[in-house]
Chain A
């Protein structure tokens, strides 16, 4: 037994909460047997390890010799992992500051709250580490199986990167608090997190366009082209993975030191920052009167206006939308560069546009269809359910159109046929994602957007398959062959199957 209020006691408390939260996510709050969840998890692990094995045995094998090419490939992977970790850490830290949860209970208790916050900062680092392992562990384990146990030291490198990411994230969010205040920090840090998450991958694509004139080059060839200094910091994690003792020790030491300093500096201040964040909720936000009078119109117009107001005022959605747009920036840049040329960019751009439209459409559709904060108000209004759905769908498709139509118009100047294919693809991808969200709609608060992907795993996979499938069909269609009907038909068949098992069909059939 640990003494109440001790570091260990808080750590046990946090572990229990984290476990319950994870169990709830896995079982969706139901009473499914724990054994089923464990079996499902083991099956998932087997699947991702199998994928990693297939990939690694069919690509160039890492030998462990720290020659230029292998080093650059691993350095690129580590940099991508770190940018994703940093993005996730910023999200987690921002949520920790702003979530009320048990904060008032803790801050009004006589316990030494710095200890709890020390545990919470460490817990964020542990969570980021575990989340990264979902993708990194299969690769590390398979490489260790194929190349020897020495590759397992990559776990230490991932742990060090996680500690560094959390330290940087807390420092950035703390600095934002000081610079722009608690109110703006929430929104800005979400945007920064989205930008960081995409920055490295997008940066590589920009460099690829400038260096090679296309995005279609092996991703890490760009790093090779940069002719990095052998001692460049970006190569450290790779050197550590390859077993250079100095690099490994430095990286792990830096991670531990950074986290210790962060805990030492921020744990005693965490409560004050969280209180400042909490104070934001007490301050009323004045809305500038953009329209001095009521606008009237039909119920459908009122619904569309409402959806648009809510979509544009949702900071989380804004950052998610920005993320989609960020990934489109290289595509737009490439278009701009080849604006007056006949460069064959269409085959590459069309699927990117279609896939992004599907993803954006799915997110917007969830907010419009499932994320209704006043469902009873809508249900008691004298408007038929079909009309409500149509108005909401129009709001979603209009949102997708505003983002993608200008890009398609630019493409039309360079390649009219590809633009036509893209326009059709954007419409069907966004429409399919909206339909899936409608079939699997489950009433929820908009604030639950983060958990939308756990509410129905079938819907989540179907949405991803549909976006990727339409993108594939678009890529084939742009090349001018009728074979595009094959992936198109496959996606339609998948959609039909998903509709068949969806709650919407079963409800209407029942």
Chain B
């Protein structure tokens, strides 16, 4: 009996978006299901534009995006049902408490009330926010806000999570908690794509790493494969990343 090939969580084909200049330029990218994929790239490489197009926040000029086989451009509602978006700027309401916020998010995704409440309480405990469950979010620190945004992304149990620079401004403790939660989700079968400038996070967490420059994917693979391609031996991801970007610049 033939082994069934692993389905793709995300498949991008020929994706392009221009503002005053091309931001994403014919991007092809695949994220296998159940993997933690990290997208790296220098400033202006097109990472955030790509993530926003996948999340349905930006319309591409051309190309195709499918999430677990669902055409995200033809049927965005179906695609949104199975994914979650977390940006570096937590999307909260200052006048709501964490429990009210999670109740609202669960309502948007149509999660049954009792199930949503159990999940919300578990998530708040897990993320260390349970003592603040009935406080309004307006006074929360950046770390608390980011953890609550992550709880919001997880309360509807998405199959695919998109994270855009989720560790920006987090202290070591909050950062550790967020990493633990994400690892656990991937172990539970969830797929993640994340952009970050913190290469240590990418090195420790990613199953596969993609490197973007000038709107295109210039390298893609496991860390060892990237090292091999960069010819950087046992070098750190930072050295490997810089070497790959430099090679691309020279080639251009």
Contact = CB atoms under 8 A, between A and B. Distances in A.
A60 interface: no
A298 B110 contact: yes
B105 interface: yes
B35 to A, nearest CB: 21
Given A286-B134, A309-B95, A302 B57 contact: no
Interface in A276-330: 281-289, 293-299, 301-303, 305-306, 309-310, 313-314
Nearest to B76: A382
Contact of A382 (B81, B100, B114): B81
Contacts of B111: 296
A310 B55 contact: no
Contacts of A109: none
Interface in A384-399: 384
B96 A310 contact: yes
A281 B139 CA distance: 6
Contact of B93 (A281, A283, A299, A373): A373
A379 interface: yes
A342 interface: no
A382 B105 CA distance: 11
B107 A284 contact: no
B215 interface: no
A374 B113 contact: no
Interface string A192-204: 0000000000000
A384 B132 contact: no
Contacts of A376: 55, 57, 85, 87, 91
A179 interface: no
Nearest to A313: B95
A39 interface: no
Contact of B139 (A284, A289, A302): A284
Given A284-B135, A287-B135, A380-B83, 6 more contacts: A296-B116, A377-B91, A377-B108, A380-B55, A381-B108, A382-B78
Contacts of B110: 298-299, 382
Interface of A: 281-289, 293-299, 301-303, 305-306, 309-310, 313-314, 373-384
A286 B98 CA distance: 11
A310 B136 CA distance: 11
A214 B104 CA distance: 48
Contacts of A379: 56-57
Nearest to A377: B91
B136 to A, nearest CB: 5
A285 B94 CA distance: 11
Nearest to A293: B117
A296 B113 contact: yes
Contacts of B103: 294-295, 302
A283 B96 CA distance: 15
Interface of B: 55-57, 77-78, 80-81, 83-85, 87, 91-97, 99-100, 102-114, 116-117, 120, 132, 134-136, 138-139, 152
Contact of A296 (B80, B105, B107, B134): B107
B93 A382 contact: no
A380 B104 contact: no
A382 B80 contact: yes
Nearest to A285: B136
Contacts of A382: 77-78, 80-81, 108-110
B80 A282 contact: no
Contacts of A299: 107-110
Given A293-B117, A294-B116, A382-B77, A286 B135 contact: yes
A384 B56 contact: no
Which of A284, A305, A375 has the largest number of chain B CB atoms within 10 A?
Answer: A284
B88 to A, nearest CB: 11
Nearest to A281: B139
Contact of B108 (A284, A285, A303, A314): A303
A124 to B, nearest CB: 26
> Secondary structure of the A side of the interface?
loop
Nearest to A314: B95
A301 B95 contact: no
Contacts of B95: 309-310, 313-314
Given A381-B108, A382-B108, A284 B136 contact: yes
Nearest to A282: B139
B240 to A, nearest CB: 32
Nearest to B83: A380
B139 A309 contact: no
A295 B112 CA distance: 9
Nearest to B117: A294
A297 B109 CA distance: 10
Interface pairs A-B: 7 shortest CB-CB: A302-B107, A296-B113, A374-B91, A381-B108, A382-B80, A313-B95, A294-B117
Contacts of A298: 107, 110
Given A294-B117, A294-B120, A306-B93, A380 B138 contact: no
Contacts of A306: 93, 96, 104
A297 B132 CA distance: 25
B85 to A, nearest CB: 4
A381 B107 CA distance: 10
Contacts of A303: 107-108
Which of B55, B94, B113, B114 has the largest number of chain A CB atoms within 10 A?
Answer: B94
A336 B147 CA distance: 54
A293 B112 CA distance: 12
A439 to B, nearest CB: 21
A22 B77 CA distance: 43
A281 B84 CA distance: 30
A309 B134 CA distance: 14
A285 B104 contact: no
A289 B108 contact: no
A306 B55 CA distance: 23
A289 B134 contact: yes
Contacts of A383: 77, 108
B93 A296 contact: no
A301 B104 CA distance: 9
A302 B93 contact: no
A302 B135 contact: no
Contacts of A384: 77
B113 A294 contact: yes
11 contacts: A282-B139, A294-B116, A294-B117, A296-B116, A301-B107, A306-B93, A375-B91, A376-B85, A380-B80, A381-B109, A384-B77
A381 B134 contact: no
A284 to B, nearest CB: 4
Contacts of B81: 382
A461 B93 CA distance: 30
Nearest to A296: B113
Contact of B105 (A283, A286, A287, A377): A377
A282 B139 CA distance: 6
Which of A282, A305, A309, A382 has the largest number of chain B CB atoms within 10 A?
Answer: A382
Which of B102, B108, B134 has the largest number of chain A CB atoms within 10 A?
Answer: B108
